[in-house]
A and B are shown apart, each in its own frame.
Chain A
């Protein structure tokens, strides 16, 4: 299990990295935490001719925030985000998702930007950033653009990035007041890729009616899978157990598209998605209400 030969570059600045990516284009792969790329290289399933290691670019590893958004540099390690009080305060769903990501050893090394660029449909961050309507700041030699999550993930392990692009920052807008959130998943062992999972975000109006609902699923298709029709069932309504059950049925039956593998059939995944949607919506609802009322 040794990788095929490759050229290795360790740029010290973003412009230097962008220049290397421009030069090598499709032959290059960016190495961030290496927690997905390196095993795939060792299995020789991925054989990049050039590896551009961005671990020596400190400005990519900052966490910043104001009332407009939380901004996570692409090289922020999971462990750093997990412990960061700003992240906990302004993006509690991101904070909560961290312990579910693999093991502590992997979180010590793995990065936010690496996970998102890899676009694994089982990755918590892929789903959470979609549910939170995050924006992705992408640079290349010709400039910069910002892509919303809904356009960033385009397919299985594929994003809207061109080969010479580098993801530099993820901006996460704050949730409106009276919002609740939840991330529920079922994994064989806590650190495994979840068999299925759901991120739910719920915003209530002053009369406790659902103003906005978002449900996004992991391990349920070839990317983050949203369930807009299930969410629409909740829109404008008082949240009741019956309504939650109806939304869960809608999402699990009609909107997700899970595959089968040795760990779970598509049928079992739909069943789990149903159970988890109910639990996630209940929790999100409680949180939106401020935890005061029972449903």
Chain B
């Protein structure tokens, strides 16, 4: 399955790069993250509870960063396993300075999903992947904003720890704006 997209972050390429390599922020902000650690050079180990609506499953795996070209591009290899199945993906990430403190992140990759998820969840997998990536980016963008303003104000950044429950309910509602754009806003 091909995964491809773009997200606009409110920060400079350097800030976005640093954010994505900060395991503390990642594990604090990303919902369902139980563990995220650097275990070797550019090798991260993570345990995540991935949740889409009522469907949930714990995955553990590794994330490897290669082909680094700070702060422009890198390659990401992800491998994870859990009871619902496994996934393996390789993708290239490109950061582009859009001026005005904005950075676009373009990503393109190939993801293989296996096991039960692939076998019985086929109809939704593509949408699930998009949805998970979009949600993660939205949350990380918020974290970035918090970090930038905390830095400016000279205080500790407060990354909202997302519980699973937050993820399903509260965090999801954060996305309403984004969704509303597409479902039509005549009622809001």
Contacts and interface: CB of A to CB of B under 8 A. Distances in A.
A154 B83 CA distance: 27
Nearest to A192: B123
Interface in A178-223: 193, 214, 216, 221-223
B151 interface: no
Contacts of A121: 127
Contacts of B125: 259, 261
A155 interface: yes
A276 B164 CA distance: 39
The majority secondary structure among interface residues of chain A is: loop
A157 B168 CA distance: 10
Interface in B130-160: 130-131, 135
Interface stretch (B9-17, B20-28, B69-77, B179-187): B179-187
A214 B185 CA distance: 12
Contacts of B179: 153-155, 222-223
B54 A40 contact: yes
Interface in A221-235: 221-228, 231
Interface stretch (B33-41, B91-99, B101-109, B170-178): B170-178
Chain A interface extent, by class: 35 or more
B57 interface: yes
A163 interface: yes
A226 B57 CA distance: 31
4 closest Cβ pairs, A-B complex: A157-B53, A259-B126, A226-B184, A150-B187
Interface of A: 25-26, 29, 37, 40, 43-48, 118-119, 121-122, 130, 133, 148-151, 153-158, 160-163, 193, 214, 216, 221-228, 231, 255, 257, 259-263, 266
